[in-house]
Amino acid sequence: MMRNRHTKTKSRLQCSYKLLKNMDKEVKPWPTTCYLNNDSMFQSTIAREASAAGVGLHTGVFGHVRLLPAPADTGIVFRRTDLDNFPIEAQGHNVARVSYATSLMKQGVLLSTTEHLLAAIYSCGIDNIYIDIDSIEIPILDGSAEPFMQMLEHAGVRKLRRKRRYLKVLEPLEVEEGDRRIGIYPADEFRVRCYVDFPHPLVGQQEVEMVVSPDTFRQLLARARTFCFERDIEPLRSMGLIRGGSLENAIVLTNDGVMNGPLRFPDEFGRHKALDLIGDLALAGLPLLARVEAYKAGHALHTQLVSRLLADPSLWTITTGETAPVEREIQLTTLSPAPATD
């Protein structure tokens, strides 16, 4: 079934990559390192627009996504351009149904599969951004966060004059469901540990632990793609899911191997789960100073943790990060000649 859709979807994906490549030509040289610094005391936004297009993994609906600069204290805000720019803030209280992807809903307006784009934005320390989208689902592109990182690199960063606010966790909080669990604990940096265990010869037990920064995200997680088991394809399709799934945007695991190798990392599955976790933690609405440990968790547990954390203000405080490393000056990236401004 997936193979049947392969050709049809491929041409659409080539279209989306063409957009990215065109952007590539506009700004030379293409950056080789991420300029974005999430240790900054000051808020940031992007310096210029960036866009891409592609099919949504679950709905199969083709959409265009455009990243735009936003003023200080805006946060990360999606805008449905097909619905008069209806805004949906990337915050825990807008989480809707969560199963195989994280969906946001506000006043009945839905937006699906936000996690990979949010993981890239959050890891890069972008505090304020508008994400314009003309469909119900964020394009899946190649199934990883790499195309979104390329968009952000094209966009560059612009520091704002307003102090960055962090959500600093003061007390531990744990959520359990059977043998799955997730916990968040006090820390002076944003650190994640993600453990997966799938009974499959290529997966098994995999664990990722890292301090989240633009560089660690880019190097360790951004390229890890989403995956599914071949045996789950028909059941998922009958549930109305993965209508846009193809061998170009998801690793498909057969009973004893992978249908569309090679893998990008031997432990690509565990890395992708960590990517998903970070994307869901972005719904905290502010950069976290906390350590998060996820054990066989998924979108449902990730978002439950965020919702319960936000619902109990005794567990955290908002800090302007006075203890964060002080920068010598407000410095613009080489790609961002725009003045620092709110």
Task: Point out the residues that are catalytic.
Answer: 299
In angstroms, give the least distance from the CB of 56 to Zn ion.
Answer: 13
In angstroms, give the least distance from the CB of 226 to Zn ion.
Answer: 4
Residue of 121, 138, 167, 115 whose CA lies nearest to 321: 167
Nearer to Zn ion, 142 or 276 (CB): 276
d(CA 112, CA 212): 24
Nearer to Zn ion, 123 or 226 (CB): 226
Q: What residues from 155 to 214 belong to the interface with Zn ion (CB under 5 A)? A: none
Which residue matches tokens 């240790």?
Answer: 39
In DSSP terms, which residues pair with 94 in a beta bridge?
none
Dihedral angle at the C-alpha atoms of 235, 239, 241, 243, nearest 10 degrees?
80
Q: What residues from 256 to 315 belong to the interface with Zn ion (CB under 5 A)? A: 276
Nearer to Zn ion, 90 or 157 (CB): 90
Nearer to Zn ion, 72 or 228 (CB): 228
Binding string to Zn ion for residues 218 to 257, with x set by CB under 5 A, is what? --------x-------------------------------
- Counting residues that bind Zn ion (by CB under 5 A) gives 2
In angstroms, give the least distance from the CB of 282 to Zn ion.
Answer: 13
d(CA 301, CA 98): 9
Dihedral angle at the C-alpha atoms of 85, 89, 90, 96, nearest 10 degrees?
-90
Structure tokens at 153: 């690199």
Residue of 136, 144, 137, 121 whose CA lies nearest to 69: 121
d(CA 286, CA 233): 36
Please tell me whether residue 144 binds Zn ion under the rule CB under 5 A: no
Residue of 49, 120, 45 whose CA lies nearest to 332: 45
Nearer to Zn ion, 42 or 100 (CB): 100
Binding site for Zn ion (CB under 5 A): 226, 276
